[in-house]
Amino acid sequence: MPIKIIHDCDPGHDDAIATMLALASPELEVLGLTVVYGNVGLERTTQNALAVRELLGSRVPIYAGADRPLVRERISAESVHGRSGLEGPHLPRPTRGLEPQHAVHFIIEQVMKYPGEVVLVPTGALTNIALALRMEPRIAPLIRQIVLMGGSIDFGNWSPSAEFNILCDPHAAKIVFGAGVPLMMCGLNLTHQTPATPDRVARFRALGTPVGEVTAQLLEFFRKHHQERYGWEGAPIHDACAVAFLIRPELFKTGMYWVEIEANEGLAYGRTICDYWNISGTPPNCEVGLEVDVNGFYDLLLERIGTYR
């Protein structure tokens, strides 16, 4: 029986690849894509989601959600993803639009419709998820799991302390991490093990398909930024890790820890504080990704993206 998921995203190069993986995987039933501001503003992230759907020839419904954080001022990652949020490839013009329903209402509706079955897969700011939990608290025990890309058990990438997705809306993240829903966190400490090196990018291009070529172009743009900024040979495909975990959990080593969010402004604003040694004695609230079989991860991506014609 496929796992019912809602992919909550802010496309974004790695979001786009995560969506490609999800929609190509028979292990998953994608109920819908819910879109949030993040890498760029909501108008662009929704257009990017529509363009990716058009490229894939999918009929998955897409819903627009929050356009700003709960409390803080909005930040963006145009410096990483470009002005459009998906710089690099030429994507088709969408022929279908967004669904009229708000993303938050869709999340609530689907969780109530399928109690205990729906996995939420947020790969951007957690604002949509937090709003759903606040608007309808009864959904918390009905959500099967939240598998997210965000945070880190050690370093940040948008501040010395914080990862971008969590820093976008620390107050939303605090709500989600405190809701009592089973959590799995794919943080930077895990995702940085998946660099898209030139040889790996070439394997996508060698598929010889339009989607394979777009994937290669997305990864090449992403790779060049990370090479110029950090001197890295390849860029991590952060968001695809969350989807891959649901499809092939055996590729991942994880541990159970207590994770809290720092939502007070200061040097640690937006930090995911992981009690790795259980110093506090607080019961764990989050499964945390520690290691990934990177060769198995790329084999899975290539296999599934290779199914698009």
DSSP characters over 17-71:
HHHHHHHT-TTEEEEEEEE-SSSS-HHHHHHHHHHHHHHHT----EEE--SS-SS
CA distances from 191 to 46, 50, 267 (A): 24, 26, 23
**Which is the catalytic residue, given 10, 14, 169, 239?**
10
Active site residue 10: yes
Nearest to 36 by CA among 232, 223, 176: 176
Q: Do the bridges between strand 272-274 and strand 259-261 make them parallel or antiparallel, or are there none, so unpaired? A: antiparallel
Nearest to 177 by CA among 284, 64, 253: 284
CA distance 207 to 158: 34
In a 3-state reduction of DSSP, which class is residue 82?
coil
Q: How many CB atoms are closer than 10 A to CB 160?
A: 10
**Packing angle, helices 210-230 and 198-205, rounded to 10:** 170
Q: How many CB atoms are closer than 10 A to CB 237?
A: 26
For the CA atoms of 45, 35, 42, 191, the dihedral, rounded to the nearest 10 degrees, stands at -60
Known catalytic residues are 10
